[in-house]
Structure 1
C-alpha cells in the first residue's frame, strides 16, 4: 500500500451545517480510499496511482493548487477569472508541496507530515528513527518512555513485547504494529452521501438575493467535489433560503423559498453554475432577510472526460464558453421564453425533424416528436438527419410554419401561376406509430399527428422561383391534395 498524507482542511473554511468530512471529498476523485486521521487527510493510492500517470505524476498533481489541478487534468471544474475564483479558493492550500508525506502505511505518512509541519527534517532511516511523539497513541506514555531512553519507533520496537504489554497495555504494541505494516490498519473511510442535500447557516442576515451567490459558494464547492467523486454532472438543482422572519408587515411568510436551476448538459464546472445562479437571482426579490440557505441536487448525469488536443494551443487561441453554456447564460439573463435552442428528432416528417425549446429544459425535446410515442418500433428507428440522409440535398432552406394549400388547375398545382416540376417525387411515409387524430379533427396536409403519406416535388415558375410542394396521398380529392411546404434560397 502507498499512503499520502496532507494537512487536514481547516474546518473554519467550511460553511456551518456541512458534514465533518466534507472537506475531504475533493480527494475522492484521486482514490476511493480516503481517511481523516487526527489533523491529517490521508489518501491510499496503490491501486489508482497508475491511472494518473504513476506516483510521481500524482504527487505533482496534488502539489498544485486546485485551479491548476483541474485545468491540467481536464476533468472537473475549471475556475474562471473573476466570477469563478471563489468556488475553489478554499481548496488551494490543501496540497502544499512542503507538507506532503508519502509512506507505505497511514501512520508513517502521518508521522512524516507532523515532522514537516514542525519544520524538522525527515530521518535517514524510516520508520525506525521517527520520534515517538509523532505516534498519537504513544503520547500518553511518551514521558515515561523518554525517561527509559526510548525516543524513536525503533527503540520502542526493540523493547521486550511482554514487558511493554504489562506496563503500557496491548494497545500500544498494536498501534506500533499497524504503523510498521505488520497488522492491517482499517481507518474510517470517507464516503459520499447518496444524495446531495445540505444546509448552511449564513454568517449574517442577507437582505438581497444577489448576496446569496456569495453565501452559496461554499455549498457549490462541496457540490463540485461530490460530483467529481461520483463522476457525475448536475442537470437540475434547487437553491432554497430560509426567512428569518415569520411575519412581515402583517403578512404571513413561508419559512422557505427557493428557485430551480437546470443545465442542458451534465455540469461539473461550478463557475458556470454560479454564473447561472447570479443571473437568476438578479431577477429575484427576497420577501424577508435570510439566515440560512440549502442546496439540493435534483438530477445528475454521467460526465465523460473531454478529449485533449495533441497540438499545443496557438498564441491567439482563447478558450471560450461552450455553446450550451452561453445559451443558458442568455436564458438566465433574458428569460427562458426569449432564448430557444433547437433539438433534432429522429422523424422523417420535415416539420417534426426538429423542435425548439428553452435551453436546459429537458421537457422540451421529449414533449414533442418521437418521445411522445409509445411504440417500440418508433423508438428503435435510427436517427437520420440532414447530415446523413442522401435525399437532404433536395430539401429546401426554409419551411412554411404550416403547409399551405395550393389551387389545382388542369391537374397541375398553382402558386401565382402553374408550377412546373424540376425534381421528384420523394415519398415520405411516417407517423404510423402515433395515435391518429380523432375523426374530423385532422385537416388536409396536417401531418403533426398520426400517419403522414406524401410525395414531395421541387417545383418552379417565374413568379415564385423554386419551391417545395407535396401531394398528400391520404386525400382522395385532387383539388385538396397539393400543399406548399418550403422555399429555396
Structure 2
C-alpha cells in the first residue's frame, strides 16, 4: 500500500489467493467502502482507489477535446463514484482511475496502456500541449518516438515514467508502514458543546484504530481519548488546554462495538470545561492478538445461544464504566483462614480472570464498614487457604453498586469437612455478647449445639494482634441459630475469655 499522487495504491498480485481471488477482494473493498464502484480487467496486478483530496483530480479542460474517439463516455454507475480502478502497473491503474473520475467519466481504451491519454500520467502533463501539437496524444504514440530525441527535448523523467507505465523498468514506491503506536487526531466539523457529541467523531477514529489493530495483529488493552478546548479562559478562569479519559479492558480486544460502548459510557459521565474543536485517539497499551480458531464441527444450539450473548468480562467492563469502577467489585480469595480476611474486594474491571459465581448486591452501608456480610460456601483447606466463594453485604440494596464473586484458581477448591456449619451471614465487626456466669446471652441465653472449631492465627499481620478463637454453633428460640466464638484473653489457663456474635444462619 502506497500513496501515489492523489490515489491510494494497493499491490494485490501476491495476496489474491489469501482473500479468495480478485473478485472476492474487490467485493470486500466495496463492502467496507460502499462508494467504490469501478470496472475490472483481467491480468492486472495493481489497484488504485481515490484518496480524499480537496480538489477533484482529472485531465485538464484542453485534454477533453482531444480524447481519442475510442474513449467514449462512461455512464455514472448507480452505486456512487467510480473510485476504484485496476491496472497491470501502478501508473496504468492510476490513469484508469483518472479516466473514471473525469467529468464526465470516460470508458477505458481498448489497448492498455498504449491508448491511454497523455494527461493521465502526471509526469507528461507539463509537456502534453507540445506533444499534442505534434499529433502525439497517447502513451503508445509517445513511445513510438525516438527515445534519444524525447529525452533531449523533454527530459529523462518522461522516459522513466513511460517505461514504468509499460512495466519495462521497476517502479519503486514508498510503501506505507504502520506506526508502532497508534495516535490519530481529527478536527471536529463544528464545536462540540457536550461530551456526548464527541462520540460521532470518535467513532471514525475507532474505525481507523480497528484497521490498525488488525494489520498489526494486536489487541488493545487501554486507549486514551483527548480533546482540545477552543477557549483558554472563561469568566476570568484559566482552562486547561485539553482534557482526556482512559478506557481499559480486562483482555486484549479488537471488538469495535465493545470499544464504542465503553467509550460512550465514559463520555456520558464527562463534563466539558469548554467547547472542543479537536480530538485525539491513542492506543496506550496493546498486546499480541490471538485469533480464536473456528471449529470444524457445526455449532450446537448451546453454542449458538452463547454466541448471541455478551461475554461476561465485556458486561463487567460496560457496567463498571456506567456506574464507576469502585461500584462494581469482585471477591478475590486470600490465603487467610480467618473468616473476615478470607476475601478482598477489588474493582471487577481490572480482573482479567473470568468471574464465576452469582452476582450479588452490596449496600453503601456495608462499603463503609457497617452491616452484615455474607460468606457463602466458605471453608478452609488443609493448607489453611480460604475456600469461600461469595459474599453479600446486608442492609438495603443499592441499584448503583454491584459485587460479584471471583475464584482465581480454576481448580475446584477443597472444602473443610465442617464447612456446612459455617453461616451465610457475617457481622462486621463481631458483636460482643453479655454473659450470664460463663454462658453467652443474645436476646436470651444461647445453647451451644456444635463446636468448638479453633481458629488460631493472625501472627503474620503486624497491624493486628494474635487471635485465638473457638467457634460454636448456638441457638435459642428468639434469634434462631447463630455463629459465636469465644476469644481467649491471655493464656487459656488464666480462664479469661469473651464471647462475640460473628454470624447468623439464614
TM range (shorter): 0.5 to 0.7
Alignment of 1:90-105 (within 5 A): 99-105=83-89
Aligned to 2:222: 236
Structure 1 residue 60: Cα displacement: 2.6
2 CA distance for matches of 1:325 and 1:243?
31
Structure scoring higher RCO (CA < 8 A, sep ≥ 6) equals 1
Secondary structure of 1:259's partner? strand
1 CA distance for matches of 2:33 and 2:294?
19
Aligned to 1:325: 314
The alpha-carbon distance between structure 1 residues 386 and 241, as it changes in their structure 2 partners (threshold 3 A), is closer
Q: Within the alignment, does 1:297 sit opposite 2:283 as a pair? A: yes
The alpha-carbon distance between structure 1 residues 239 and 152, as it changes in their structure 2 partners (threshold 3 A), is same
What CA deviation, in whole Å up to 9, does each residue of 1:309-344 have, x standing for no partner?
Answer: 654798x967343322222221122222222346x7
What CA deviation, in whole Å up to 9, does each residue of 1:325-375 have, x standing for no partner?
Answer: 222221122222222346x7897989999865324326999xxxxxxxxxx
Corresponding residue to 1:144 among 130, 138, 141: 130
2 CA distance for matches of 1:444 and 1:102?
80
Structure 1 residue 42: Cα displacement: 0.8
Structure 1 residue 197: Cα displacement: 3.3
Secondary structure of 1:51's partner? coil
Alignment of 1:413-428 (within 5 A): 417=448, 419=450
Aligned to 1:43: 10
Corresponding residue to 1:339 among 309, 328, 332: 328
1 CA distance for matches of 2:473 and 2:213?
57
What CA deviation, in whole Å up to 9, does each residue of 1:278-305 have, x standing for no partner?
Answer: 2222222223333333333321222222
Alignment of 1:3-22 (within 5 A): none
2 CA distance for matches of 1:170 and 1:218?
43
The alpha-carbon distance between structure 1 residues 323 and 144, as it changes in their structure 2 partners (threshold 3 A), is same
Q: Is the 8 A contact 1:198 1:294 kept in 2?
A: yes
Alignment of 1:143-292 (within 5 A): 143-292=129-278
Aligned to 1:53: 20
Secondary structure of 1:46's partner? coil
Secondary structure of 1:203's partner? strand
Aligned to 1:79: none
Structure 2 segments unaligned to the other structure (5+ residues)? 37-78, 355-406, 431-445, 453-458, 477-490
Structure 1 residue 98: Cα displacement: 5.2
Alignment of 1:294-443 (within 5 A): 294-308=280-294, 311=298, 319-341=308-330, 356-361=345-350, 388-389=411-412, 417=448, 419=450, 437-438=461-462, 441=464, 443=466
Q: Is the 8 A contact 2:227 2:276 kept in 1?
A: yes
Secondary structure of 1:53's partner? coil
What CA deviation, in whole Å up to 9, does each residue of 1:109-139 have, x standing for no partner?
Answer: 2122223334433334333333333222122
Q: Within the alignment, does 1:135 sit opposite 2:124 as a pair? A: no
Let me know the Cα RMSD of the aligned residues: 5.2
Aligned to 1:407: none
Structure 1 residue 140: Cα displacement: 1.9
2 CA distance for matches of 1:355 and 1:96?
59
2 CA distance for matches of 1:349 and 1:54?
63
Q: Within the alignment, does 1:123 sit opposite 2:109 as a pair? A: yes
TM-score normalised by structure 2 residue count: 0.58
What CA deviation, in whole Å up to 9, does each residue of 1:208-229 have, x standing for no partner?
Answer: 2222223433333333333333
Of 356-365 and 148-157, deviating more is 356-365
2 CA distance for matches of 1:348 and 1:236?
33
Structure 1 residue 195: Cα displacement: 2.6
Q: Is the 8 A contact 1:178 1:185 kept in 2?
A: yes
2 CA distance for matches of 1:488 and 1:144?
100
Secondary structure of 1:177's partner? helix
Structure 1 residue 96: Cα displacement: 7.4
2 CA distance for matches of 1:294 and 1:103?
37
Aligned to 2:32: 65
**Paired residue total:** 383
The alpha-carbon distance between structure 1 residues 255 and 461, as it changes in their structure 2 partners (threshold 3 A), is closer
Q: Is the 8 A contact 1:247 1:253 kept in 2?
A: yes
Q: Is the 8 A contact 1:386 1:392 kept in 2?
A: no
Aligned to 1:28: none
Higher Rg: 2
The alpha-carbon distance between structure 1 residues 248 and 364, as it changes in their structure 2 partners (threshold 3 A), is farther
Structure 1 residue 272: Cα displacement: 2.6
Structure 1 residue 462: Cα displacement: 11
Question: Which structure has more helix as a fraction of its residues?
Answer: 1
Q: Is the 8 A contact 2:226 2:279 kept in 1?
A: yes
